[in-house]
Amino acid sequence: MTVSELYPLIRWTHISCVLASGTLFAARGAGVLLGSQWGMTPTVRRFSYLLDTALLGAALLMLYILDLNPFTVGWLSTKIALLLLYIVLGSFALKRARTARAKLLFFLASLLCFAFMLTVARAHNALGFLSQFMTQ
């Protein structure tokens, strides 16, 4: 069996990890906003790192199988830029913001960034869901 034959399984793994990672982040963020400590415990944080590592690994395998350079494919470049923004916003939402209001704003911004990233991936277009409103 070749790696290419595993593509459907790798794609499924990637999508599953995206959804699990986003759900875990949303739960952790809600917990932090409500004053709960569970979301920042070492066990939960390690699980989050493990999940994100599996997500990244599946993404890299798909790039390899499809022979894609993410920096020459517009929607993939956009997805990477949004991922970096999501990480920064999420970091402020979970621990770096100093006030509860700032944590809430960063949390909402990170969720919006995550949602837009999903639309970019689904549409295979840098404009994500907005691409359906653009005329050609």
Using one digit for the tens of pLDDT, what is the confidence trace for 22-67? 999 999 999 999 999 999 999 999 999 999 999 999 999 999 999 9
Report CA-CA distances (Å) from 133 to 113, 127, 129: 19, 10, 8
Instruction: Give dist(CA 121, CA 108) in Å, integer.
Output: 20
Neighbours of 93 (CB within 10 A): 24
**Predicted local distance difference test score (pLDDT) of residue 136:** 59
- Reduced to 3 states (helix: H, G, I; strand: E, B; else coil), residue 26 is helix
pLDDT average, residue stretch 71-87: 97
42-66 vs 7-33: helix crossing angle, rounded to 10: 150
100-123 vs 7-33: helix crossing angle, rounded to 10: 160
Please report where in the chains the tokens 């916003």 appear, as a residue: 89
Instruction: Give dist(CA 20, CA 79) in Å, integer.
Output: 18
Average pLDDT of every residue of the chain: 96
Q: Above pLDDT 70, what percent of the chain?
A: 99
Report domain extents, the chain: 1-67, 70-136
**Predicted local distance difference test score (pLDDT) of residue 3:** 86
Please report where in the chains the tokens 């986003």 appear, as a residue: 22
**Predicted local distance difference test score (pLDDT) of residue 38:** 97
**Predicted local distance difference test score (pLDDT) of residue 124:** 96
Q: Residue 1 pLDDT more than 90?
A: no
Q: Residue 113 pLDDT more than 90?
A: yes
**Predicted local distance difference test score (pLDDT) of residue 62:** 97
Residue-wise DSSP of 42-95: HHHHHHHHHHHHHHHHHHHHHHHHHT--TTTSHHHHHHHHHHHHHHHHHHIIII
